[in-house]
Amino acid sequence: MQVILIKDVRKLGKKGEIKTVKDGYGQNYLIKNGLAKPANQKNLAELEHQKKKEKKLDAENKEKALEIAKKLEKTKFKFVVKTGANDKMFGSVSVKQIKEKLEEKGFSIDKTKIELDHPITNLGFHDIIIHLYHGVDAKIKIEITK
């Protein structure tokens, strides 16, 4: 029996895949528990329609992410920090502070999308990568001054 998975099923497949399973497993477990539906003409047509819709939505989201990336890369970000002897910074610039600076400039980006390899503890220019979407990253340059 062939079924279309509605949800991810461990050790079987991911949502939207068509799988061949034994009749009893398909009827008594997968379909009964709402994990799959039979792979008939109607359901296959519905799956194709859903995949086209998701592909279109994915393309739109990627296009929006590319636009945001271009704007981010053109924007300058400057942090003024307190320093001690020999221009040594007190503390560091954190992901939270970078997120707040992005929001000041009008960008609403989740802090989990900001990649910071190590804490920024010295003055100068630093490159930060922001993951906006699958395969779309923006590289921003921030300046730390006293």
Q: Please state which CATH class domain 63-145 belongs to.
A: alpha beta
pLDDT, tens digit, for every residue of 83-131?
A: 888 878 888 888 999 999 999 988 889 989 999 888 888 888 999 999 9
Residues 144 and 79 sit within 8 Å (Cβ to Cβ): yes
Q: Does the pLDDT of residue 57 top 90, yes or no?
A: yes
Q: Please state which CATH class domain 2-61 belongs to.
A: alpha beta
Query: What pLDDT is stored for residue 88 in this prediction?
Result: 83
Query: How many whole angstroms separate alpha carbon 98 and alpha carbon 105?
Result: 11
Domains 2-61 and 63-145 share a fold: no
pTM for this model (two decimals)? 0.70
| Domain regions of the chain by residue span | 2-61, 63-145
Q: Does the pLDDT of residue 1 top 90, yes or no?
A: yes
The pLDDT-based confidence of 11 (bands split at 50, 70, 90) is: very high
